[in-house]
Structure 1
Amino acid sequence: MKFLVTGGAGFIGSAVVRLAVARGHEVVNLDALTYAACLENVASVAKAAGYTFEHADIRDREALDRIFANHRPDAVMHLAAESHVDRSIDGPGAFIETNVNGTYNMLEAARTYWTGQGKPETFRFHHISTDEVFGSLGPTGLFTEDSPYDPRSPYSASKASSDHLVRAWGETYGLPVILTNCSNNYGPYHFPEKLIPVVILNALAGRDIPVYGDGSNVRDWLYVEDHAEALLRVVRDGVVGRSYNIGGHNEASNIDLVTRICAILDERCPENAPHDRLIRFVTDRPGHDARYAIDASRIGKELGWKPSVTLEEGLARTVDWYLANEDWWRPLQERQGVGERLGVSA
């Protein structure tokens, strides 16, 4: 298959690109190379046969039409998005422009292309979204594909809007769409402003490790390479019009997660132990959801996917990757806003 992957120089997108190329697929990587993107993420496949990079913005409809016409993809895997909740609090406009208007442009460009090709039944528009569109859970329960939407941040509201657009284009125009909603991803190439890289890199530098509120917020953690495997399975075998939740079956509170990472670093870098002495509780983020947890039984039953990496294994792999790849993360720490406390202006 030939995939058009949007956001393929980002964290999850690059994992999809690397895996798809390794599986022998052709890949067109469309990325605007905004602050969180990095072509080093796909350097290992940049010279592979069948790989092409297109520097373009999903808000640019003319560029999208050109890319569809030139490359004639069999499927779209739409991952391009603004994704940092704290940044969405400070500057929601960029999230509306990219996540809502950009998705609209992608849908219209895909529909124009699909119609022009005679509406092939094999074409797919796979929209990759987040569990944050469902809002916040209490101490019990799981998000299912039928959970009501209840977004609480500008980021999750923009992703909820894009989900609704994708479903509407499927229902109204017959575009062959599939949706997935995932839990929190982590692993290699995770941009340094997100929680797990912040913990690792601050600990290595001997800086304070900030934990929002009392650290009781719970997330389900999904290793990014497991997620990429799930996405390729969905775009290949998923039922048109259906949505699939993808989770890691790895719930942990933020403070538990942080202390686990510190314990791993104590083993790897004992000269600076104990790293948990650096933990500092800071003012919570406005509208901070209490708990996310995914029921991923549908993708397991229908497509045979399940996560292969436990949280303990994944955190150890992730810490080891950051220890071995300072040349990757060091320059990214110089980018705008990285290392600053964002999302407190509400």
Structure 2
Amino acid sequence: MCKTLLGLLFFSASFAMAQTPRLVIVDQDGSGPGGSNQMAMMVLLQSPQARVLGITMVSGNAWEPEEVQHTLRMLELIHRTDVPVVPGAVFPLVRNREETLLWEKRYGTVPWLGAWGDAAKHSGSSPWHEPMVVPKLAEGEPTTKPLAEDAAHFLVRQVRAHPHQVTVYAAGPLTNIALAIAIDPEFAALTQGIVIMGGSLNPVSTEAEFTTDPRHEFNFWFDPEAAHIVLRAHWPRIDLTTVDISIKAMFTEAMLKEIASSPNPAAQYIAHYSEDRYFLWDELAAAAWLDPKIITGERQLYLDVDLSRGATYGDTLAWTADNKPELDLQLVHAQIDLDLPRFTKLFVELMRRPAKAAQ
């Protein structure tokens, strides 16, 4: 065989590998319509680099049953109903609303309670409603249905079907992931790794949520036991988008205007339903997985979560290799700085793209 033909075959094989989408399962607390949760899922759904095997839902910013409906409707509106939505954990492993409200009386209130919100007591939280109640959706009711399987078993099944090929993208409380680990002790090791939006180290911020409690972060705080289990599992790699870096990436009016000028379905969904101009917490985690060059600074640390049930219950714990305790802790790539123009460009471009063909 001539050298030219060998070269062409090698180039063709390399090009095909480069074009093969990376497999990912999205685990998200999908409050909506619009907003950071929905837009973060759309980053991966819109990217030609990613093949989303499914979206597993978990309570966090809102209750899981409501999130399922918002996410089904989002997929309809952006023409991606080929992606299954899988119901997940409605409640954290241990923490509950009643104990948390009592905890606040002793240790002080937190600015954001998510699904446990009470508008009368927390002006920044969502109005309270019962977990299984799904209020009328502003964007219209979905006609599609969720998968008849629970999130934890779906996660295990997909990872077992594609060993060492699937990345788990976890941008809400980590309850579903912890349950998958409990079902299958080899689950974490059989993935390519996990991308987490969670944890806080020392953010430079005037936000009330972080100025007096810099180690507090909602996803870890909402289900500390789940975060503890996930951070201790033996993943091939753990990438963590911390509060420290998230607060450097704001969704601006200029970004919204540029996105809204596109006639494509994802852009129009954002134009109609993304009213908040706030930090792009989850979107940054997704974009950095697609393009690691977005991250310009990280700390390699050993992390855990405080389970003491006292004032710091749910706070992020961190050590270096020199001072970590003699426990089976895992190395975490904690992101702390970014190339903001690079991230902004990628995010806007993805949101403006035409609907991606079903995979």
Greater helix share, structure number? 1
TM-score, normalization: structure 2?
0.40
